Amino acid sequence: MIEKRDLPAVSLDSMNMMHYEEADLINSVLHKIENGEECAVTKALQTLLEHMQKHFGFEEEMLKNRGFAMFDIHRNDHTRIMGETRMAYMNWRNFKDRDALKEFIEEEFIQWLNLHIQAMDSVAADFLKRLEDS
């Protein structure tokens, strides 16, 4: 499980809220892996992927429209984790391996999220905040 209070905070509340929503969805996937029917796991994963698409699109649009210098690097990191998450989803659909899915979420996705917030979103949020304040 991931605790919202353990996520790094950035200087924009809108980005923090997206991260908190994502934490709830990650926890839902993990809960369904432990306790849910296969169709419930599938649905929770689909919901997470849909949220990721919305989350990343929201961030990328803000950054691109405001001329963020590290836009391509930021977008590429989103693209990479989307691909890995889609692959985990397809592996789930094909093999229904709860342990593999749980390992991906806990060992790869959650670690990526924390690192991405610290290394990329914090810089992006500071950039956007400076523009808002000027």
For residue 45, give every residue at least 6 positions away whose Cβ sits within 8 Å of its Cβ, in sequence order, or none. 29, 88, 89, 92, 101
User: Into how many domains does the chain fold?
Assistant: 1
Kindly report, residue by residue over 4-18, the tens digit of the pLDDT: 999 999 999 999 999
Give the mean model confidence (pLDDT) for residues 10-28.
97
| Residue 78 · residue 49 · CB < 8 Å | no
**DSSP 8-state secondary structure symbol assigned to residue 106:** I
Kindly report, residue by residue over 98-134, the tens digit of the pLDDT: 999 999 999 999 999 999 999 999 999 999 999 999 8
Decide if 54 is inside a domain. Answer: yes
Give the pLDDT score at 8: 97
Decide if 98 is inside a domain. Answer: yes
Kindly report, residue by residue over 54-107, the tens digit of the pLDDT: 999 999 999 999 999 999 999 999 999 999 999 999 999 999 999 999 999 999
| Residue 8 · residue 22 · CB < 8 Å | no
Decide if 38 is inside a domain. Answer: yes
Give the pLDDT score at 134: 84
Q: In a 10 Å sphere around its CB, with 0-12 CB exposed, 13-18 middle and 19+ buried, how is residue 95 labelled?
A: exposed
Cα-Cα end-to-end distance for the chain? 39
Q: Which domain holds residue 99?
A: 11-133
Decide if 2 is inside a domain. Answer: no
CATH number of the domain at 70, please: 1.20.120.50
**In 10 A of CB 45, how many CB atoms?**
23
